[in-house]
Amino acid sequence: MTLAELKRGQNAIITDVSSKKIPLKLLEMGCLPGNSVELVQVAPFSDPMYLNINGTHLAIRKETAIHILIETNDA
């Protein structure tokens, strides 16, 4: 599953960010494997996505989110 597929209010764990299409700035802000992520809100037309990653709030575009693999906490 990718970060772009996450639903509002849903929590997940980042499993892989190995794509070269992910900006270094996102990695520096905590977008790393093992960190928890929650989709807080989505802007109109579904872009960008407003996320909470280990307490850090940031917005990323869906075109970037599709390259971040996650695993949801749902059973």
Domain assignments of the chain as residue spans, ordered by start: 3-72
The proportion of the chain whose per-residue pLDDT surpasses 70, expressed as a percent, equals 97
Q: Which pTM does this prediction carry?
A: 0.84
Confidence of residue 21 (pLDDT cuts 50, 70, 90): confident
* Average pLDDT, rounded, for the chain: 89
| Maximal C-alpha separation, the chain | 32
Q: Which residues contact 57 (CB under 8 A, 6 or more apart)?
A: 40, 50, 51
Question: What is the model's pLDDT at position 33?
Answer: 92
* Correct CATH for 3-72 of 3.30.530.20, 2.30.30.90, 3.50.50.60, 3.40.50.2300: 2.30.30.90
| CA distances in angstroms from 27 to 12, 13, 44, 68, listed in the order given | 17, 14, 25, 11
Query: In this predicted model, what pLDDT tens digit does every residue of 22-55 receive, in sequence order?
Result: 888 888 888 899 999 999 999 988 789 999 998 8
